Amino acid sequence: MSMLVVGSVALDSLETPFGVRKDVPGGSATFFSTAASFFGPVQLVGVVGEDFPEEPLRFLADRGVDLAGLTRAQGRTFRWSGRYGYDLNEAQTLDTQLNVFGEFRPELPEAFRRPDFLFLGNIHPELQGQVLDQVAARPKLVAMDTMNFWIEGTREKLLEVLARVDLLFINDAEVRQLSREHNVVKAARFVLAHGPTLVVVKRGEYGALLFEKEQVFAAPAYPLDEVFDPTGAGDSFAGGFMGFLANRGADLDADSLRQACVAGSTLASFCVERFSLDRFRELTRREIDERLAAFRTLTDFRPIA
């Protein structure tokens, strides 16, 4: 089934306790499409500046990401710089430069207008809405992501897009900020009252919670010996989740959604093992399958009498 993502394509500068990287490929659409590409083809809509290197674009194209909706505009690429302390769950944004995203108006190529699965990646909510406006038929699933930058600056616009989607991916600090509720369960209920029927609350090394109207499912994060850089974990989670569902052509029943959570957690776990896209460059389908199996062992226990 077809999959479309709109989001940032970025040059990230990162500081973690394990090293420093400058101007490495990042962005919500980049991580999402890379992770989803392990399950099937992805169409990408976004913009880069004149300074964005060719190599990461070749990497995406080789992975089956259709870049017909990626514009190269005059000016500098979107840049984000962030720092993580010993608690890798919390990114501290040092700088955000919108650059070419300031003027960007997404134009969906004709072939991109009927996606079965649509992911509105972390980006200005107005651009998320413009993409949704251009979709010709209602997709099977529309999901979105966002972050504190947009919750602080464009809350009303964000709530408008939220009302039009089925699923929100969001991290725990951000869902609290959006809902103005301290309790994550209450915060998720706030989201469910504003449009979506599903919410995935991402909790870094503590995993993710999937909320439906009546049920909650918890997927752990895979316990790793080494976490180098959490940047992109959230988008990789969403890419694994949606890629899994699109590839299965699965009904969006409770079992498939739970499996999708584990697929999301699996892709996120690989992302954080190296900086930027580096772990994905060598990742194989077999390693993914092995980790999916390891998740079963991790969470399986006999019913308690």
* Binding interface with ligand AMP (CB under 6 A): 8, 10, 12, 26-28, 31, 80, 96, 122-123, 147, 149, 231-235
Residue whose C-beta lies closest to ligand AMP: 26
Instruction: For the CB of residue 271, give the shortest distance to ligand AMP in the complex, in Å.
Output: 8
| Between 76 and 114, CB nearer to ligand AMP | 76
CA atoms of 9 and 113, how far apart (whole Å): 20
Cβ distance to ligand AMP smaller for residue 20 or 293 = 20
- What residues contact 7, with CB distance under 8 A and at least 6 apart? 27, 28, 29, 30, 32, 46, 119, 120, 121, 122, 123, 145, 235
Phi, psi of 64 (to 5 degrees): 90, 20
Between CA 26 and CA 234 the distance in angstroms is 12
Closest separation in Å from C-beta 52 to ligand AMP:
12
Of 27 and 243, CB closest to ligand AMP? 27
Is the CB of 140 or the CB of 279 nearer to ligand AMP? 279
Distance of closest approach, residue 302 Cβ to ligand AMP, in angstroms: 35
Smallest distance from ligand AMP to CB 305, Å:
41
Contact yes or no for 178/201 (Cβ under 8 A): no
Residue 12 or 172: the one with the smaller Cβ distance to ligand AMP is 12
Query: What is the CA angle 124-196-156, rounded to 5?
Result: 40
Laid out side by side, the sheet with 78-84 consists of 19-26, 10-16, 78-84, 91-97
Q: Which is nearer to ligand AMP, 140 or 260 (CB)?
A: 260
CA end-to-end span of the chain, whole Å? 42
| Nearest CB to ligand AMP, comparing residues 25 and 115 | 25
Q: How far is the CB of 285 from ligand AMP (least distance, A)?
A: 22
Instruction: Considering the complex, state which of residue 245 and residue 277 has its C-beta at the smaller distance from ligand AMP.
Output: 277
CB atoms within 10 A of CB 168: 27
